[in-house]
Chains A and B, each alone.
Chain A
Amino acid sequence: GDSVTQMEGPVTLSEEAFLTINCTYTATGYPSLFWYVQYPGEGLQLLLKATKADDKGSNKGFEATYRKETTSFHLEKGSVQVSDSAVYFCALSPNAGGTSYGKLTFGQGTILTVHP
């Protein structure tokens, strides 16, 4: 079945450092890929998404590129802020036409803490 694997956390960085959170997936066909963020005490919010190979999703300074050849969707940010401290989830949705479209498969989440 479909699966998503994220790098082990937690990740601790100083403000303005470069961030990479690795995400790889296993799925048939061409799934859509997502990054969700969960701030303390809140539900998940969509951060960015990509729907086909070589697409780049971006939002709030975060970027991730859909790499079909390496089945990866790594999250990057050039300069993190204290306000970026949160849990980050990589997720996939199967391609349309299947019976399970719309259902997300999540990675285990990566806790990011940014210190001033």
Chain B
Amino acid sequence: NAGVTQTPKFRILKIGQSMTLQCTQDMNHNYMYWYRQDPGMGLKLIYYSVGAGITDKGEVPNGYNVSRSTTEDFPLRLELAAPSQTSVYFCASSRTGPARTDTQYFGPGTRLTVL
């Protein structure tokens, strides 16, 4: 049972390039989330998904896109990378949303630098 896995661990992009951050969970969780963590700040929600085929915007969605074609995978797409997207990105999953006390399980993160 690997939990939540993310690839890559590190990446450097040039301004204007694009990339996809991969996230996979093997716990059969319905809910999945993408957060970004800036230095000295808490995590901010980018997008979330309540199940395959259903996604919605979080607090800071601009410059990102997501898709959820399977329960397991929730990739995050960066189009036209900008220096403001330099951050650490965390993917998380939880069993279900209505049970509001459900724990969110986090991946190890992807450290992205845009130069």
Contact = CB atoms under 8 A, between A and B. Distances in A.
Interface of A: 4, 32, 36, 41-46, 49, 51, 89, 91, 93-96, 101-109
Interface string B44-55: 110010100000
B115 interface: no
Interface of B: 4, 31, 33, 40-45, 48, 50, 58, 90, 92, 94, 96-104, 106-109
A43 B104 contact: no
Given A103-B48, A108-B41, A44 B106 contact: yes
Given A45-B106, A96-B99, A104-B33, 17 more contacts: A36-B106, A43-B92, A43-B107, A44-B43, A44-B104, A44-B106, A46-B103, A95-B100, A102-B48, A102-B50, A102-B97, A103-B48, A106-B44, A108-B41, A108-B42, A109-B40, A109-B41
A93 B102 CA distance: 10
A96 B109 CA distance: 28
Nearest to A43: B106
Contact of B42 (A4, A43, A49): A4
Given A42-B108, A43-B90, A101 B98 contact: yes
Contacts of B98: 96, 101-102
Contacts of B43: 44, 89, 104, 106
A91 B103 CA distance: 12
Contacts of B4: 43
B100 A32 contact: yes
A5 to B, nearest CB: 10
Contacts of A41: 108
Contact of A108 (B40, B50, B92, B101): B40
